[in-house]
A = this chain, B = another copy of it.
Amino acid sequence: MARNIFNPVVLLISLLFSLISFAQESSTVRYVDARQLTVIGQPISFPERPFARLNPAFIQSKSLATKFNQSTGMMVLFSTDSKIIRAKWHTSDMCIVGVNTGANCQKGLDLYIRENGMWKFAGVGAPEMNASCEAHESTIVTGMSHGIKECILYLPLFDRIDSLEIGIEKSSAILPLDNPFRHRIVFHGSSITHGSAASRAGMSYVSRFGRENDLYCFNMGFSGQCKLQKEFALILARIKADAFIFDTFSNPNPHEIRTRFNEFVDIIRESHPETPLIFIQTIRREKRNFNRLADAFENEKQQVAKKMVKNRMKKDKNIYFIDSDGFLGDDSLGTADGTHPTDLGFSRMLKKLTPKIIGILNNYGIK
């Protein structure tokens, strides 16, 4: 770009642009209720709470009901010719969710715009974490060029959305965008699947996998949960799905894996007799590096998990097991705490995991 960087005219124009932009944002923005746009990510339709990933009435546990209410993995899709995209949204007033989770991931928004057929990061809707952690307002992106943009806005991974409005220039239009994702892939798992240490809402491995492969993925990851409980199997069995991907060996102990695994599969198989069920081995936790007790426990868990799935595979050709060797690399830098992968851990994990999952899905015409 050939510009005279010392030219005061350029500086002045730049300043003017900033002023115009500020004026636009404060006085010429109109807000549209996100419910008027395309909201996706509920595996079982629940119009009463359009931003809750699952109906909390499905479960007795209060703590799980809270997690069902979260907007984890959900997206708002729209197209607009606005040069500014803002948002106003309400979440719970919970300020801190866990030691690994930043506010952008917990209750922030994450925008991607389609460019040359790819979804490219455009900006975050940063939550307000001062007086209240409940009411938020943010400019996600400004200063954009003319023309229509197709947008995905990811919703918070660890909070619920009580209301969401998208702000655009008054003179511009906003329309619901057709769901661009194909098929229906359900991910069920632990905090790793939930996205505990992802940096922003669209950076869980589930969202990244979906975005990068144009697949419609549902995030049924529940932090601290997913111990192959029957109640989860009953819910999953109700979901219309082309494939299930399970990170279900991270939280149960070896005994739970041994005693629950077959019943868990049986329940899902009743409604999905031939749907591919892909079980991912739990990652090698980096806290095992020096902790021999954790190492022995995790090792046993991994062995039991592998054995249970492999046994089941003998009589069910639509069940798969993906080992997690080398998922996080070998430098112990892939997690926030020895357990939860960060964006770095997820990148390494997806590099190994994606071709394996895609290879299996292709056999079922999922591509």
Name the segment of A54-62, A95-103, A224-232 touching the other chain: A95-103
Is A263 part of the contact surface with B, judged by Cβ < 8 Å? no
CA–CA, A332 to B303, complex, Å?
A: 37
Q: Quick one: which of A131-168 are within 8 Å of B by CB?
A: 141-145, 149
Point out the residues of chain B lying under 8 angstroms from A3, CB to CB: 299-300, 303
The binding surface of chain A is classed by DSSP as mixed
CA–CA, A6 to B199, complex, Å?
A: 39
Contacts A102-B197, A286-B121, A292-B143 given; does A297 touch B14 at CB 8 Å: yes
Point out the residues of chain B lying under 8 angstroms from A337, CB to CB: 104, 123-124, 126, 199-200
Name the segment of A177-185, A215-223, A313-321, A340-348 touching the other chain: A340-348
Q: Quick one: which of A236-272 are within 8 Å of B by CB?
A: 254-255, 258
Closest to A297 in B: B14
Point out the residues of chain B lying under 8 angstroms from A345, CB to CB: 343
Task: Please tell me if the beta carbons of B342 and A120 are within 8 angstroms of each other in the complex.
Answer: no
Task: Please tell me if the beta carbons of A99 and B104 are within 8 angstroms of each other in the complex.
Answer: yes
Contacts A287-B123, A290-B141, A337-B126 given; does A14 touch B96 at CB 8 Å: no
Is A1 part of the contact surface with B, judged by Cβ < 8 Å? yes
Is A357 part of the contact surface with B, judged by Cβ < 8 Å? no
Q: Quick one: which of A109-130 are within 8 Å of B by CB?
A: 113, 120-124, 126-127, 129-130
Q: How far is the CB of A134 from chain B (nearest CB, A)?
A: 14
Point out the residues of chain B lying under 8 angstroms from A130, CB to CB: 96
CA–CA, A14 to B254, complex, Å?
A: 11
- Assign chain A's interface to a size class: 35 or more
The one of B18, B149, B333, B347 in contact with A121, judged by C-beta atoms closer than 8 angstroms, is: B333
Is A336 part of the contact surface with B, judged by Cβ < 8 Å? yes
CA–CA, A95 to B296, complex, Å?
A: 36
Q: How far is the CB of A301 from chain B (nearest CB, A)?
A: 9
Is A294 part of the contact surface with B, judged by Cβ < 8 Å? yes
Is A324 part of the contact surface with B, judged by Cβ < 8 Å? no
The one of B99, B123, B295 in contact with A291, judged by C-beta atoms closer than 8 angstroms, is: B123
Point out the residues of chain B lying under 8 angstroms from A290, CB to CB: 113, 120, 122-123, 141, 143-145, 149
Choose among A129, A199, A286 the residue with the greatest number of B CB atoms under 10 Å from its CB.
Answer: A199
CA–CA, A11 to B255, complex, Å?
A: 9
Point out the residues of chain B lying under 8 angstroms from A300, CB to CB: 3, 5, 10, 14
Q: Quick one: which of A174-211 are within 8 Å of B by CB?
A: 197, 199-200, 203, 208
Sample 9 A-B pairs with CB under 8 A, ordered by A number.
A3-B300, A5-B303, A21-B293, A99-B127, A102-B197, A123-B290, A143-B290, A333-B347, A343-B344
11 new A-B contacts at CB < 8 Å, known A5-B254, A14-B300: A96-B96, A99-B103, A99-B126, A104-B337, A113-B290, A120-B289, A121-B338, A199-B335, A333-B347, A342-B343, A342-B344
